[in-house]
């Protein structure tokens, strides 16, 4: 394999391997940035089905632009041992998969579990609006890029089996069942049509695992697990993890409904319930069991008798003069110490108590303001554009969560106005570098495609999609169509015409003509063209020689023909091949 893909990407180490492809780190020499390149396995590249599936992933994700989805920058093909193997150039992200973290024993808090699912649902909400169903939501397809799992701390990846929705919002059933059985919706198990609600079911399985440490259904074989998805109801998460927020059982139960009509009908609907659960206070952690409150105990020093022996319960105790003096001195010292402590408190105690800034990022504005007010702080609300948080939700605070303030201090919170809207500029006629720079300066991502153009020089920008003047979100992907040069003319269809007519039509179109004679067939008309090469409708450069085969009756004199040009004569079709009619 070439070390420089597409004359642009310098390949580096392997980041991972899967059943379909290998992912390698690479350096984009043109834009000077780190990228990840996903290359289809060579043996699979020989299979048209896998090639189509790989290209489908590229096209599906290239149409998506969301902070929680790994972005696709470019696509292409590279030659490996004479075979064109497709590759995808993607955003490079530092992190680890949620699967790897869970396998190492990581157990998220309920809030972290809900936050992960909130981000996953945000990504799905975006992809479903674009008409794309993921069909394989699971921990290994969730990349954790923030170890604290704050809002925006994950990215959904691997749309390798994603499919577009049909006109009725469903993916047509096929004979092939795709997905991972532990997270597969009942309709996927049956091989029936799937839609956005199938992704909701898989996300419910993911939430269940994050809350409990296990998937909803387990078994010795994939078939056993699939049967449970069809017939059994999972144990409520709170029975496996007491102390979960009250709403989590209801969210999981609705997401895992067997009938799609009883589930959340969209990722947005499930996300609304998840966000409501995140705003509720979590119950205190369960304390170790004890039979009751510990009794109050007064510890007394047993005073000794004069002879040094221990006092007894039966003998009345008599304190010596020395004992009484010691007791009085001790009490006097305690009084002095108490007085000193009181004076010290009055001198150094703050006028107000200190409080810790609560985390309000990701909360709705009203909820965030109430949380700060309840903590004794004064919220100061401002607005800003944000692609990470939906409109009306807090993006950040100043000071940040965890800082210590004095009661009554002000905390500034920024509330999202939604993604910033960008107008796509006119870039037609510009060079690729100029157009790319203009779009990236506006915060837009760029993917390139090629198409023929008679008016734009090779390599120049023909048009953009979305078109100039369109309004998109900051961070959206714009496709630049670069000129591959003038479109080649099509070879006219001259079959059935006379030799003279055929010659005239082809020469008018800019082609040269070579005539070959063949015996007339049963359905052929003498002196007419029965075949041609290149075939009708083929794209060919002007000046290309077109060979026509003309039917001749036995004994018929052949009119003298002189080719208009005879550069290179293609192999003559043997007389036994026609008639072609």
Across residues 141-157, what is the average pLDDT?
A: 84
Confidence class for position 130, pLDDT limits 50, 70, 90: confident
CA-CA distance, 408 to 396, in Å (whole number)? 20
Closest listed residue to residue 136, CA positions, set 69, 189, 181: 181
Token digits for 502?
């055929």
Closest listed residue to residue 131, CA positions, set 68, 61, 192: 61
SS3 content of the chain, % helix, strand, coil (to 5): 30, 25, 45
Higher model confidence: residue 313 or residue 524? 524
* Chain region(s) in the chain for CATH 3.30.200.20: 4-91
Confidence class for position 17, pLDDT limits 50, 70, 90: confident
136 is catalytic: yes
Highest-confidence range of 74-78, 207-211, 344-348, 570-574, by mean pLDDT? Answer: 207-211
The verdict on domain 4-91 having CATH code 3.30.200.20 is yes
Architecture in CATH for domain 494-581:
2-Layer Sandwich (3.30)
Question: What was the pLDDT predicted at 558?
Answer: 55
Confidence class for position 135, pLDDT limits 50, 70, 90: confident
CA-CA distance, 451 to 521, in Å (whole number)? 42
Across residues 486-512, what is the average pLDDT?
A: 92
The answer to whether the CB of 60 falls within 8 A of the CB of 88 is no
Question: What was the pLDDT predicted at 556?
Answer: 61
Confidence class for position 560, pLDDT limits 50, 70, 90: low
User: Would the pLDDT of 165 be above 50?
Assistant: no
**CB under 8 Å to 185, separation ≥6 — which residues?**
194, 197, 198, 201, 202, 229, 260
Confidence class for position 342, pLDDT limits 50, 70, 90: very low
User: Would the pLDDT of 198 be above 70?
Assistant: yes
Confidence class for position 137, pLDDT limits 50, 70, 90: very high
Q: Which residue has the tokens 């961070």?
A: 475
Question: Is 417 assigned to a binding site?
Answer: no
CA-CA distance, 198 to 259, in Å (whole number)? 10
Catalytic residue among 28, 118, 136, 273: 136
Closest listed residue to residue 505, CA positions, set 556, 581, 564: 564
Q: Which residue has the tokens 């007394």?
A: 300
Highest-confidence range of 49-63, 65-79, 201-215, 373-387, by mean pLDDT? Answer: 201-215
* From 171-180, 205-214, 394-403, the region with the lowest mean pLDDT: 171-180
**CB under 8 Å to 379, separation ≥6 — which residues?**
368, 369, 372, 373, 410, 411, 413
User: Would the pLDDT of 486 be above 80?
Assistant: yes
Question: What was the pLDDT predicted at 299?
Answer: 29
State the SS3 of 158-213: CCCCCEECCCCCCECCCCCCCCCHHHCCHHHHCCCCECHHHHHHHHHHHHHHHHHC
Confidence class for position 434, pLDDT limits 50, 70, 90: very high
Question: What was the pLDDT predicted at 37?
Answer: 92
Confidence class for position 333, pLDDT limits 50, 70, 90: very low
* Chain region(s) in the chain for CATH 3.30.10.20: 421-483, 494-581
pLDDT in tens, 259-312: 999 999 999 999 999 999 987 655 443 332 322 332 222 223 333 333 333 333
Question: What was the pLDDT predicted at 497?
Answer: 94
CATH number of 96-279: 1.10.510.10
* From 47-51, 85-89, 564-568, the region with the lowest mean pLDDT: 564-568
Q: Top-level CATH class of 421-483?
A: alpha beta
Across residues 218-239, what is the average pLDDT?
A: 91
- Parallel/antiparallel/unpaired status of strands 477-483 and 445-451: parallel
Closest listed residue to residue 275, CA positions, set 117, 66, 109: 117
* Chain region(s) in the chain for CATH 1.10.510.10: 96-279
Question: What was the pLDDT predicted at 257?
Answer: 96
Q: What is the length of the chain?
A: 581
């Amino acid at each position: 394999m070439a070390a420089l893909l597409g004359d642009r990407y310098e390949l580096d180490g392997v980041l991972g391997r899967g059943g379909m492809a290998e992912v390698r780190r690479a350096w984009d020499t043109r834009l000077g940035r780190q990228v990840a390149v996903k290359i289809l396995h060579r043996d699979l590249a020989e299979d048209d089905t896998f090639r189509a599936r790989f290209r489908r992933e590229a096209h599906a994700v290239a149409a998506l632009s969301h902070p929680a989805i790994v972005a696709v920058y470019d696509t292409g093909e590279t030659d490996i041992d004479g075979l064109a193997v497709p590759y995808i150039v993607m955003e490079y992200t530092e992190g680890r998969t949620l699967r790897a973290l869970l396998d190492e024993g990581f157990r998220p808090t309920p809030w972290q579990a809900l936050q992960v699912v909130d981000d996953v649902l945000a990504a799905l909400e975006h992809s479903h609006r674009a008409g794309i169903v993921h069909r394989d939501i699971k921990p290994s397809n969730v990349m954790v890029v923030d170890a604290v799992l704050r809002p925006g701390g994950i990215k959904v990846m691997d749309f390798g089996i994603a499919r577009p929705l049909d006109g009725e919002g469903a993916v047509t059933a096929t004979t092939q069942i795709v997905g991972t059985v532990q997270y597969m919706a009942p309709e996927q198990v049956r091989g029936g049509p799937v839609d956005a609600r199938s992704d909701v079911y898989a996300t419910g399985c993911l939430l269940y695992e994050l809350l409990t440490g296990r998937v909803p259904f387990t078994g010795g074989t994939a078939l056993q697990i699939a049967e449970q998805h069809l017939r059994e109801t999972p144990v409520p998460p709170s029975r496996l993890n007491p102390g979960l927020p009250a709403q989590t059982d209801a969210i999981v139960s609705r997401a895992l409904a067997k009938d799609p009509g009883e589930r959340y009908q969209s990722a947005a609907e499930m996300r609304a319930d998840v966000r409501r659960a995140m705003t509720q206070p979590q119950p205190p952690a369960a304390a170790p069991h004890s039979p009751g409150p510990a009794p109050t105990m007064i510890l007394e020093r047993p005073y000794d008798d004069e002879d040094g022996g221990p006092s007894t319960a039966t003998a009345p105790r008599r304190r010596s003069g020395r004992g009484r003096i010691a007791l009085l001195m001790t009490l006097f010292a305690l009084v002095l110490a108490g007085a000193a402590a009181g004076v010290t408190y009055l001198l150094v105690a703050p006028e107000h108590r200190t409080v810790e800034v609560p985390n309000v990022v990701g909360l709705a504005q009203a909820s965030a303001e109430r949380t700060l007010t309840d903590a004794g702080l004064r919220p100061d609300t401002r607005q800003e554009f944000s692609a990470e948080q939906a409109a009306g939700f807090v993006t950040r605070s100043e000071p940040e969560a965890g800082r210590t303030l004095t009661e009554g201090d002000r905390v500034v919170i920024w509330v999202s106005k939604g993604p910033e809207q960008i107008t796509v500029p006119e870039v037609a006629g510009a060079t690729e570098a100029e157009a790319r720079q203009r779009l990236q300066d506006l915060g837009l991502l760029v993917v390139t495609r090629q198409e023929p153009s008679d008016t734009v020089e090779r390599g120049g920008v023909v048009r953009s999609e979305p078109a100039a003047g369109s309004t998109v979100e900051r961070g959206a992907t714009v496709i630049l169509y670069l000129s591959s040069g003038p479109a080649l003319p099509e070879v006219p269809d001259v079959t059935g015409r006379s030799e003279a007519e055929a010659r005239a039509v082809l020469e008018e179109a800019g082609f040269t003509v070579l005539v070959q004679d063949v015996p007339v067939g049963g359905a052929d008309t003498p002196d007419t063209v029965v075949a041609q090469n290149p075939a009708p409708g083929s794209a060919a450069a002007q000046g290309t020689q077109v060979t026509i085969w003309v039917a001749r009756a036995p004994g018929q004199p052949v009119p003298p023909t002189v080719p208009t040009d005879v550069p290179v004569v293609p192999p003559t079709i043997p007389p036994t091949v026609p008639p072609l009619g």
